[in-house]
């Protein structure tokens, strides 16, 4: 490995939602980086400022930098949702809160998801008429574009999860989304 030490981390609630216990287990197994998704009974972005300061203090005291904040932003939306509808606004508000937390815990990465998967997005030779969820893919970029702009303005990078149940379920679809959003700089990754 060229003399470089591999640095490992974990999504902490995969161990326990009790962060102190998760950090104890991380120490036991030599894991250095903490990815936060749920801490206690709350998802990141739902903690009070005092709770965030407490989370940050615990991790700093134990030498566990935060690698990423992960919230299910845009999960549960579908091609029926539109920019500015109630569900989109709820997800954007949650993203704003996660970014506020990211600034406090000093992490540049915020993981989001994409809307629910449609089985067949593209086709030709007749499949585009009978099997494709026409226009489903085209609804996604307008929904995520404001998140990219917010990330740019706030100096964080969005990390898109490639999930089996989401529209971005492969490196190909992730790259296509990045290209369509013209987000090739440092503000979106997969």
Q: What is the pLDDT of residues 84-100, one digit of tens each?
A: 999 999 999 999 999 99
Mean pLDDT in residue range 152-172? 88
The sheet that has 9-11: what strands, in order across it?
Answer: 9-11, 33-36, 66-70, 109-112, 157-160, 188-189
Domain covering 9-189 in this structure, CATH number: 3.20.20.150
CA dist 69 and 107 (Å) reads 8
Mean pLDDT in residue range 156-165? 87
Token readout for 62 is 């134990």
pLDDT band at 153 (very low <50, low <70, confident <90, very high): very high
pTM of the predicted model, to two decimals? 0.86
Residue range 40-89, pLDDT digits in tens:
999 999 999 999 999 999 999 999 999 999 999 999 888 888 899 999 99
Token readout for 159 is 């990390």
Mean residue pLDDT of the chain comes to: 87
Report strand pairing: 33-36 vs 109-112.
unpaired
pLDDT band at 3 (very low <50, low <70, confident <90, very high): low
The angle at the Cα of 29, spanning 53 to 60, to the nearest 5 degrees, equals 20
What are the φ/ψ torsions at residue 108 (nearest 5 degrees)?
A: -90, -5
Q: Report the 10 Å Cβ neighbour count for 37.
A: 17
pLDDT band at 139 (very low <50, low <70, confident <90, very high): confident
């Amino acid at each position: 490995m060229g003399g470089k030490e591999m640095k490992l981390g974990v999504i902490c609630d995969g161990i326990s939602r009790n962060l102190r216990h998760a950090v104890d287990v991380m120490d036991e197994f030599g894991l250095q980086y903490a990815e936060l998704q749920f801490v206690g009974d709350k998802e990141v972005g739902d903690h009070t400022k005092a709770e965030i300061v407490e989370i940050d203090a615990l991790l700093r005291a134990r030498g566990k930098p935060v690698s990423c904040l992960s919230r299910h932003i845009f999960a549960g939306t579908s091609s029926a949702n539109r920019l500015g509808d109630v569900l989109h606004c709820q997800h954007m508000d949650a993203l704003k809160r996660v970014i506020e937390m990211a600034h406090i815990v000093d992490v540049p990465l915020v993981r989001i998801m994409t809307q629910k998967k449609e089985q067949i997005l593209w086709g030709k030779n007749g499949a585009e008429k009978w099997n494709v969820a026409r226009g489903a893919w085209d609804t996604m970029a307008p929904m995520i574009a404001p998140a990219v702009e917010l990330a740019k303005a706030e100096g964080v990078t969005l990390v898109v999860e490639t999930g089996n149940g989401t529209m971005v379920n492969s490196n190909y679809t992730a790259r296509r989304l990045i290209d369509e959003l013209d987000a090739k700089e440092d503000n979106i990754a997969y």
